[in-house]
Amino acid sequence: MTAPTLTSIREAKERLHGVIHATPLAHSTSLSEEAGMDLRFKPENLQITGSFKIRGAFNKIKSLVDAGAKGVVTASSGNHGQAVAWAARYFGLPARIIVPTTAPAIKVASARAFGAEVEFFGTRSRERLERAEQVAQELGYVFVPPYDDAWVMSGQGTLGLEILQEWPDVEAVVVPIGGGGLISGIATAIKETRPDVRVIGVEPEGAAKAFQSRQQGRRVELPGTESLADGLITLALGHLTHPIVERYVDDLYTVSEEAIQQTLWRLMTRLKLVVEPSGAVTSAFLLSEQGRARLGGRRVVAVISGGNVDPEVLRTIPVQ
């Protein structure tokens, strides 16, 4: 299996039943009025391990357990690593997580708390991925990709099924883009069920690999990325996720660092939710002039991908 299908996503939903939370949509009258649309939020910051990543990690590791794996290793800026650590502990497998030297302390501490061994290596995603594959060979473990894997994408796609089930009248779903695993899964689930529902991707201006790829008509690898949204700063979409994004995602947009910062405070003060910068990009777009012009008057879901924000990061953001 090289790409998720509606069937593989439905099967993942069955595997995840009773293990993860089916996070209920949240609503804010004031934010809906500000955005000029019926706006609801999918709060994966309330998910097990604090992000959507547990969906794909658990689905993938369950398949590896069934195949007789004796351990797992992955590369992660934080959230995927925590999810792999949690799922590995659930199945009684050892896990090693390769994280960047700049990884947020709160995410590293969480992975260790779930029983994983954490190794710091480099600052770029490619470096971590290469190191993780090396460790997998050395230890005889299986590498769990953070996004470029059909099992992982299928797990993430369960989020899309939940949205359609809870709000059948939804007209658009807005999703953050890092390596593309989340939006690939969600877009597959939605477009193969309700092709009339628009799927929109958002990424930081400083990590606009999906946006640039569409503009140039090819998979672009950026020379570097920089953003407060540390979970979205991969240099390129995956080789598997890129064609899915091109096939199923209707529109791609970017948001500024200032907009991300402002939106963090809006979500905390209006929704009373602690959201990490990566999870705030969708709301930042929808609360912008561009978002209002594009989706004003519609029924829209903003995916909040996670809430594992380092308190030290919050201290650096001016109160709005």
Topology of the domain covering 53-143: Rossmann fold (3.40.50)
C-alpha closest to that of 304 among 269, 249, 264, 270:
264
* Confidence check: pLDDT of 232 > 70: yes
Tokens representing 23 are: 């996070």
Q: Write the pLDDT tens digit of every residue in 160-199.
A: 999 999 999 999 999 999 999 999 999 999 999 999 999 9
pLDDT value at residue 320: 64
The per-residue pLDDT of the chain, averaged, comes to 94
Candidates 3.40.50.1100, 3.40.50.300, 3.40.630.30, 3.40.140.10; CATH matching 6-52+149-316: 3.40.50.1100
Give me the amino acid identity at 74. T
Which residues have a catalytic role annotated? 53, 305
User: Do the domains 6-52+149-316 and 53-143 sit in the same CATH topology, yes or no?
Assistant: yes
Per domain, the residue ranges of the chain are 6-52+149-316, 53-143
Q: Virtual CA dihedral for 305, 308, 312, 314, nearest 10 degrees?
A: 40
pLDDT value at residue 157: 98
Does residue 204 contact residue 234 with C-beta atoms inside 8 Å? Answer: no
Contacts of 84 (CB under 8 A, 6+ apart): 57, 61, 72, 74, 76, 95, 97, 111, 116, 144
Positive or negative, the CA dihedral 180, 128, 21, 155 is: positive
* Confidence check: pLDDT of 77 > 70: no
Band of the pLDDT at 106, cuts 50, 70, 90? confident
Is pLDDT larger for residue 103 or for residue 14? 14
* Confidence check: pLDDT of 128 > 90: no
Among 24-28, 102-106, 123-127, the range of highest mean pLDDT:
24-28
Rounded distance, CA 20 to CA 116, Å? 20
Rounded distance, CA 10 to CA 264, Å? 33
Percent of the chain with pLDDT over 70: 99
pLDDT value at residue 6: 98
Does residue 276 contact residue 308 with C-beta atoms inside 8 Å? Answer: yes
* Confidence check: pLDDT of 107 > 80: no
